[in-house]
Amino acid sequence: MKTRLFGRWALAAGLALVWAGAAIGQAVESGVPAPPTVQKRTPWDSEILAAFSKMPVQDDGRVKPLDTFAQFRLLRFNGKRECVTPWKETLSPIAWLLDSLFYPELAEQYKMFVVPSWDALDAAGIKHEGKNKRDRYSYVELFTGRQALMTKAQELGHKEEKDRTTTEQQIVSLAMSMRDFEMITHYLDFARTPLSIPSSPGMANLFPNPAEVRYADVLSKAGVIRGAMATLQAGGADVDEATKKKELENIRSLLAQLDKLGGMASELALFPPSVTVKEQPAWSAPADLIEKAFTGEVAPEKQIALLGSLENLVKQRDDRIAFRGTLTGMNQDVVALASARGEYGKIPLEVFLYKSQFLYWSLCVFVLGFVLVASSWLAPRSRILGNIPWLAAVPGLALLTTVIVLRCIIRGRPPVTTLYETILFITATAVFVALVIEYMNRQRIALALSTLLGSLGLFLAYKFELQQGTDTMPNLVAVLDTNFWLATHVTTVTIGYSAGLLAAAVAHVYVIGQLIGFKKSDKAFYKSLTRMVYGVVCFGLVFSTVGTVLGGIWANYSWGRFWGWDPKENGALMIVLWELAVLHGRMGGYIRDFGMNMTAIFGGMIVAFSWFGVNLLGVGLHAYGFTSGIFSALLVFYIIETIVLFLGAGLWIGRRGSSDTPASATKGKHLPASADSKAARAR
């Protein structure tokens, strides 16, 4: 199968910007993009958008809806899932993709490339007068610096992502976005560019009407063309040598045209094979059909027919009635092929998942719930105000849980397979446990934390998704391709993460409350917070220990050793050892209420390191890829937590110093034994 001209994984490996696509490079570097031939186009109707949304495509090894492909491409380019045209029309991801495919001269004018700073633009010599930082640019605006940008990005292609500066990473990201956009806008060039059929008797026999010959027409006669070439090369044709040479040159010229045009049509693998998945798992793009038609033993007739329908769509782009009719037939044929392979059944469900925007509504509900909880503090004795926040926290958790369940159904996997999914699962688990605690003690603290943690968790999920800009349901690496261990080891360890972070959150209420003097005379309130922290730490220790042991068993099964001091393994062990130390210190009387909460906050920092920090190291068998953009967020988190710990330590030292009574003050006085023991306990 033909190698893709450009791929994200190649860039991650340091080789993506070694451009293999010479054809597309020549096409885009031949001059400044021409101004649009039309100022507007007829908006896409709902029927066309729905048909394209549910059309399956194979991308990064996974069959997904075309709508999912469009969403994450636009999210990476634009920083959001919508695009505004020069005439102020807001496009959905699938509408933007259709414009890019069928009206590239218009899509090149859309301001859809978000640039975080001017450093990358300055490096490429791109003008930005009158622009703000993090402003959006059109492809036409960036084109003047395209060559310089690509050259610099190619130089950085062999440099590890973790070793790049911020500006260097922005250069590479912008170059990759421009290249991916070009792969989309030039995808249908084979259907827009007429083929030049050489004039000769042999060509006239193959193509009686040369002006009407299209890409699919040539592929449909691939067997005949191969036979003609073989006959000419073997000398079996009843013609002179000069004619043979001329006919061979004409055939080679035609094949060169096919290769040049088809080489640009590799971004979307829209055509399923006609065989079972095990026999041939890869779908085909138009570029792949060239090789299959001219080298395969059996011509891919159904795929070539679909290619012809795609060419008709380009021709009919302004005739929406004809366009809709061709699209309906093409969509039915693609769905039939995909369904026969068992690869279409979950496509409508995935479209529904993203269209429903459950995560967005869950975030809104959690934020509303926190506002309601804060409002209830104005009337702490009101039962009505105290119960209203439940009406937000529970639906918010239900929406989040719905997303997790739907993703499990779509993928056929347990709920935790990627870093993104750990954010969703940890958030849901923390909210659920907090609601259980609130149901048991009814102090509104756990209820407030449930809505706050729900909001923070989903904000983090959105930030992570935006930062990565890739499909959050990718194919799994080989070692993770096992549902049993994902459902046992990964899930239990993740629950342990959730418990550690929840304990730290409750401990923040204790420490910050002490710092600001909140309810300073209510000792029962702070005692209850400590009991919450203690219980959640115990809960977390159980799952962290079991998960770590199961991870060792999995490692022995996969890698032949139970323990290898891998950074991820060390992070899990640190959590277990720290929680054991905290509980032993509590039981032995070495730490009391204040110490219990301070150590829980530090435990949250350990969890953050094990969860995300080890990915920044880029080493170890568990390092499945550098997590770009996490370092700054993690650094801010550690700075804040360190400040809280220092302030808490200062308060503890201050109280300890003030509680020490000078010896002269107690000289000649005798305290009762009971009073003496109480003073010791207070200290």
Higher pLDDT, 41 or 95: 95
Span 657-670, mean pLDDT?
Answer: 51
**Which candidate, 377, 376, 396, 379, places its Cα nearest to that of 388?**
376
Q: Which of 186-195, 208-217, 655-664 has the lowest mean pLDDT?
A: 655-664
Span 46-60, mean pLDDT?
Answer: 95
Tens of pLDDT, residues 448-459: 899 999 999 999
Bridge partner list, 113: 137
Question: What is the pLDDT, as a whole number, of residue 275?
Answer: 82
Q: Which of 51-65, 179-193, 274-288 has the lowest mean pLDDT?
A: 274-288
Under the banding of pLDDT at 50, 70 and 90, the label for residue 295 is confident
Query: At residue 357, does pLDDT exceed 90?
Result: yes
For 296-357, where are the alpha helices, taking DSSP H only?
301-315, 320-340, 347-356
Query: At residue 558, does pLDDT exceed 50?
Result: yes
What count of Cα atoms within 13 Å lies in the side-chain half-sphere of residue 404?
A: 25
Distances (CA, A) of 313 to 221, 291, 321, 322, 577: 21, 23, 11, 8, 63
Span 510-515, mean pLDDT?
Answer: 93
Under the banding of pLDDT at 50, 70 and 90, the label for residue 671 is very low
Question: What is the pLDDT, as a whole number, of residue 22?
Answer: 41
Question: What is the pLDDT, as a whole number, of residue 236?
Answer: 65
Q: Which of 341-355, 476-490, 559-573, 664-678 has the lowest mean pLDDT?
A: 664-678
Bridge partner list, 62: 59
Question: What is the pLDDT, as a whole number, of residue 387?
Answer: 74
Say which amino acid occupies 135: D
**How many other C-beta atoms can be found within 10 angstroms of the C-beta atom of residue 259?**
15
Question: What is the pLDDT, as a whole number, of residue 622?
Answer: 60
Question: What is the pLDDT, as a whole number, of residue 666?
Answer: 44
Query: At residue 116, does pLDDT exceed 70?
Result: yes
**How many other C-beta atoms can be found within 10 angstroms of the C-beta atom of residue 210?**
15
Q: Which of 89-98, 177-186, 219-228 has the lowest mean pLDDT?
A: 219-228
Question: What is the pLDDT, as a whole number, of residue 664?
Answer: 44
Question: What is the pLDDT, as a whole number, of residue 366?
Answer: 94
- How would you class 205 by CB atoms within 10 Å of its CB: exposed for 0-12, middle for 13-18, buried for 19 or more? exposed
Under the banding of pLDDT at 50, 70 and 90, the label for residue 2 is very low
Tens of pLDDT, residues 381-432: 767 777 777 888 999 999 999 999 999 999 988 888 888 999 999 999 999 9
Question: What is the pLDDT, as a whole number, of residue 246?
Answer: 87
Tens of pLDDT, residues 521-556: 888 889 999 999 999 999 999 999 999 999 888 888
**Which candidate, 286, 265, 275, 285, places its Cα nearest to that of 219?**
286
Under the banding of pLDDT at 50, 70 and 90, the label for residue 629 is low
- How would you class 247 by CB atoms within 10 Å of its CB: exposed for 0-12, middle for 13-18, buried for 19 or more? buried
Percent of the chain with pLDDT over 70: 86
Query: At residue 662, does pLDDT exceed 60?
Result: no
Cα four-point dihedral sign 305, 311, 317, 319: negative
The β-bridge relationship of strands 83-84 and 62-65 is unpaired
Question: What is the pLDDT, as a whole number, of residue 621?
Answer: 61
> Taking all residues of the chain, what is their mean pLDDT, rounded to a whole number?
84
Question: What is the pLDDT, as a whole number, of residue 15?
Answer: 31
List the chain domain ranges: 196-263, 357-469, 476-653
Span 198-205, mean pLDDT?
Answer: 82
Question: What is the pLDDT, as a whole number, of residue 480?
Answer: 66
Instruction: Look up the pTM and report it.
Output: 0.85
Bridge partner list, 530: none
Question: What is the pLDDT, as a whole number, of residue 350?
Answer: 96
Span 73-99, mean pLDDT?
Answer: 93
Tens of pLDDT, residues 494-504: 999 999 999 99
Highest-pLDDT range among 20-34, 226-240, 551-565: 551-565
**Which candidate, 130, 128, 107, 262, places its Cα nearest to that of 187?**
262
Question: What is the pLDDT, as a whole number, of residue 19?
Answer: 36
Query: At residue 509, does pLDDT exceed 90?
Result: yes
Tens of pLDDT, residues 11-46: 333 333 333 334 455 555 555 565 555 567 889 999
